[in-house]
Amino acid sequence: MRRPLWVDAAIRVLQPVYQSLASVAASRSIAVVRRYDAKVRDMAEEVGASAAVVEQVYRAMISAFIAEELNIHAKLTQGASGSGA
């Protein structure tokens, strides 16, 4: 019966660590997005396309891919938790 107490204590201790890791990951993600935005804008300008339009299309495409990956992950997670394993 002491296990729930240990789990609660571990969560309290590790929560700041997880938040710190999440902020590091988020800042890296922002840097990656900015780098790709610049690359996409440069490519658009090289072929004479509107950099603003190409960037918006690129962002919409990436958002759609991320949404699809999250849907697939949710289905796989639900399937794994419902398998009785």
Chain centroid, CA 38 distance in Å: 20
User: By the 8 A CB rule, do 51 and 44 touch?
Assistant: yes
| Nearest by Cα to 59 from 40, 76, 85 | 40
Share of the chain above pLDDT 70, in %: 67
Which CA distances in Å does 25 have to 15, 31, 64, 65, 66? Answer: 15, 10, 21, 19, 16
pLDDT given at position 85: 47
Structure tokens at 26: 């988020």
The mean pLDDT value of the chain amounts to 79
Q: Which residues span the domain enclosing 18?
A: 3-81
pLDDT tens digits, 22-48: 676 777 777 888 888 889 899 999 999
Provide the whole-model pTM.
0.54
* Domains held by the chain: number: 1
